[in-house]
A and B are shown apart, each in its own frame.
Chain A
Amino acid sequence: MITQVSDSLYSQLIKTYGGNLPSAEPRSLDEIRKQAFERFKSTGFPTVKNEDWKYTNVQPLISQHYELDAEPSLVAVDLDGANIPQLDAYRVVLVDGKYHAGLSDTVDMPGLSIMPIDQAFERLCFAKYFAEFADKTDNPFVTLNTALFTAGLFIEVGKNTQLSKPIHVIYVSNARQPVFNQVRNLYVISTFAEAEIVESFVTDPQAARSLNNQVTEIVVREGAKFQHYYLQTAASQGSYLNHTEVYQEKHSLYNNYNCTFPGPAFVRNNINVRLGDSEVESHLYGVTLTADNQFVDNHTIVDHIHPHCESYEWYKNITQDTSTAVFNGKIFVRPDAQKTNAFQQNNNMLIGEKSAVYTKPQLEIFADDVKCSHGCTIGQFDNEALFYLRARGISEAQARVLLVHAFAFDVTSRFANTVVREYVEHLVEEGL
C-alpha cells in the first residue's frame, strides 16, 4: 500500500535511490538495504492514522525539499553550544551526520574502538548485530535509515574494559542549505565492560533547516554497564527523529537519561529497551522542557522477556508557551517474565496556558507474579509554594526556577554524572 506518493521527500527518495542504493559494501549489507527499501516503499511515511504517530504529524516535515546526502560543507563549525563545562571526555564530532576527524579526539585507549560506521562493515560484531534489533520494529523511519544511511558511528567497548572517561558525541548541523541527514550508529558494550556516552545535538547559528533521521542500535552484553545521556539542545531550524534500540544481555545495566530543551522545532524519540535475558536492569529517565511552538514526543518501550528483571522509568515534562509534549510509555511483561519489577512514572507541569501534553502509559502484562506500577500526573505551578518563596524575598522568576528544579529533581537527582547533571540544571534555568 503506497500512501504517501505525493510527499515531496518520499518521491524524491524513490526517484533518487530506486535501484540505486548506497553500495560498495559487503553483499550481505546490500541485501539488507534492498529489503529495507522495499519495505519503506510499501509503507511510506507514517501518518496520524497510525496509533504510534497519533499526535505526531510528520507531514509538514516531509512535504519540504531537502538536499539528500549533501557533501559536508567546508565552512567553519561553531561547536560552542555543545560545550559541557568541566566535562573531561573523549570528544567525537559528527558534522551533518558525518564523522569529522579534525574536530574529534584521537582515542588510543586499549579496548575502545570509535570509528565512522562505514569502516566497521567488515567487523564481526557488525555482521552479528547490525539491523538485528531496530529493524524488528515497525518504525518506517528505521527501514528508511537502514536502506539509505551513509554515515554514523561505530563504538565498541571491549571485554572487561572500563572507560576512564565518558565519550562525548556531538552532532552539529552546519549545512547552509536544507538537508536530510540519516545517521546510523552501532554501539557494542562487550561483556563486563563499563561505558558512559553523552550525546549532544547542536546547531551552528548559520545552519539552514535540517531533518535528521537517526537510528542507534545498542547491545549491552553480559555483565556490562552503560550510562547513556541524550542532550537535545539544537536550534529551531532542526527537526529530529531519533530511534534508539537497546538489547540487553544477562546481568547488564542500561541507564538512559533523555533531556530535551527549548530549541528544535520537532523532536521524536523512540527509545526501546529489550531485556533479553534474566537479571537485567534498565533505567529510563527523561526531562523535557519545551518553549515557543516546539513539539517533543518521547515514545518508549520497556520489554520484559525473561524473569527476574527490573526496570525503572521516570519522565518529566515542563511545557511553556504554545509547545506540545507527548509521552508514550509501553511496558511489556511477557509470559516468561515472572518476578518482574517494573516502575513507570510520568509527571507533567504545564506552564504555558496554551501548551499541551499528551501522555499515555501502556502496560501489557502477561505474567502473573510481577510487581508493576505506573502513575501519571498533570499539574501547573503550585501557587502556594510560589508565594512561600516570594514571601522570603525570592523574586518570582527565581522562585519559578527553584520550583521547576524541584519538579525535575526526581529525575535529575538520578543522574550518575554530576557534571552532566549540573549542566542540565543550568539548561533548565536558561530555558525558563
Chain B
Amino acid sequence: MLSIKNLHASVDDKEILKGLSLEVKAGEVHAIMGPNGSGKSTLGNVLAGREAYEVTEGEILLDGKDLLELSPENRAREGVFLAFQYPVEIPGVSNINFLKTALNEIRAYKGLPPLEAREFLNRVKEKQKLVEFDAKLANRSLNEGFSGGEKKRNEIFQLAMLEPKLGILDETDSGLDIDALRIVARGVNQLRSQENAFIVITHYQRLLEYIVPDFVHVLYKGRIVRSGTKELALELEEKGYDWIKETVDAEKAV
C-alpha cells in the first residue's frame, strides 16, 4: 500500500529525514518509535504534505500513486490521514460542519454524491459511539477549548468518520488517560481491516498492548535503524534507546 524509498527531507535547509525506507502492506499495523527529535512527526507531516518540509530525495508511493505530486487535500482524498500530535484549535469552525465539508469533498473526488443529511448524522452517531466522543464536543468549534485528551480523541473520531486507507497516529496516546487509551485503541482495532493500514507513532509500549503492531521500527537521526516485531518494543521499554544509539553511532563511526 505505502512504499517509501530513500526519503530525504529538510526544514529550513536542515536535513531531518536522511534516507528513510518503509514498506507498509494493506492490513498491517506498523509502530514507529524513537527518541525525541528523531524525525517521527516529520515523517507524518511529509506524508500529509506540509509545505514547510522539502523532500530533496526519494519517493513515496501510495498504491502506486506518487504522493509527492499531490496537494495535501488530494492526499487526504486518496486516503492519507494524519492524526496530529498537536491538533490546532480553530474557533468559529464547527466540528460537524468541518467534517461534513471534508467528507463530501472526499466523496466528490471519488465521484460520489454528497451524503444525505440523515446518512451523515447516522454516521456521526455511530462513530461517536465507537470512540465514545461526547456529542457536545462534536457540536462545538473545532478543538476550541478542548483538553489535550479531548483533542486526541477528536482526531480518532475524525479518522473514524473519514475511513482513510492509511491512518498515521502521531503520539495519539500521549495525554490520554488509561480509559481513553483503551477506547481509542478499541476504536482503531475496529477500524482495522484488510483494506487499510496504520502507522502508529508512540513512545510507549503500553499503547502497543492494545493496538498490536505487526512490525516495530526504531527511527533515529532520520533513518530507520532497527525493525522487528512487537517484542522489539518490549526490549526498548526495558533498555531505553542508549544501546541502539551506541551501536548505530558506532556503525556510523566505522
**Interface residue ranges, A against B (CB under 8 Å):** 382, 384-385, 387-396, 398-399, 402-403, 405-410
Contacts and interface: CB of A to CB of B under 8 A. Distances in A.
Contact of B106 (A385, A393, A406): A393
B90 A403 contact: yes
A408 B99 CA distance: 20
A255 B158 CA distance: 39
A385 B72 CA distance: 13
Given A398-B105, A402-B101, A390 B72 contact: yes
- Lowest 10 A-B CB distances belong to which pairs? A406-B92, A409-B92, A393-B76, A390-B72, A392-B102, A393-B106, A390-B73, A406-B93, A393-B102, A384-B88
Given A387-B50, A387-B72, A388-B84, A394 B102 contact: yes
A387 B88 CA distance: 10
28 contacts: A382-B88, A387-B51, A388-B84, A388-B87, A388-B88, A389-B90, A389-B98, A390-B49, A391-B48, A391-B72, A391-B75, A391-B81, A391-B82, A393-B76, A393-B77, A393-B102, A393-B106, A393-B109, A394-B73, A396-B71, A396-B73, A398-B105, A399-B73, A402-B90, A406-B93, A409-B91, A409-B92, A410-B92
A393 B73 contact: yes
Contact of B90 (A391, A406, A408): A406
A392 B92 contact: no
Contacts of A407: 92
B162 interface: yes
A408 B91 CA distance: 10
Interface residues of B, number: 31
A395 B108 CA distance: 11
B73 A395 contact: yes
Query: Interface majority SS on B: helix, strand, loop or mixed?
Result: helix
A415 to B, nearest CB: 14
A408 B93 CA distance: 10
Contacts of B50: 387, 391
Nearest to B143: A388
B90 A398 contact: no
A65 B91 CA distance: 48
Contacts of A408: 92
A403 B93 contact: yes
A394 B77 CA distance: 9
A274 B214 CA distance: 72
Given A391-B49, A409-B92, A398 B101 contact: yes
Contacts of A390: 49, 71-73, 76
A398 B73 CA distance: 11
Nearest to B159: A392
Q: Quick one: which of A393, A398, A399 has the most chain B CB within 10 A?
A: A393
B88 A392 contact: no
Contacts of A387: 50-51, 72
A405 B93 contact: yes
A403 B87 CA distance: 16
A394 B109 CA distance: 10
A316 B97 CA distance: 22
Contacts of B93: 389, 402-403, 405-406
B76 A392 contact: yes
Contact of A392 (B51, B141, B158): B158
Contacts of B88: 382, 384-385, 388
A357 to B, nearest CB: 20
A214 to B, nearest CB: 32
B123 to A, nearest CB: 15
B71 A393 contact: no
Given A388-B88, A389-B98, A393-B105, 20 more contacts: A382-B88, A385-B88, A388-B87, A390-B72, A390-B76, A391-B72, A391-B76, A391-B82, A392-B102, A392-B158, A393-B76, A393-B77, A398-B101, A402-B90, A402-B97, A402-B98, A403-B93, A405-B92, A406-B92, A406-B141
Q: Quick one: which of A382, A391, A394, A406 has the most chain B CB within 10 A?
A: A391
A260 to B, nearest CB: 20
Q: Quick one: which of B77, B103, B105 has the most chain A CB within 10 A?
A: B105
Contacts of B141: 406
B162 A393 contact: yes
A418 to B, nearest CB: 15
A382 B91 CA distance: 12
B90 A392 contact: no
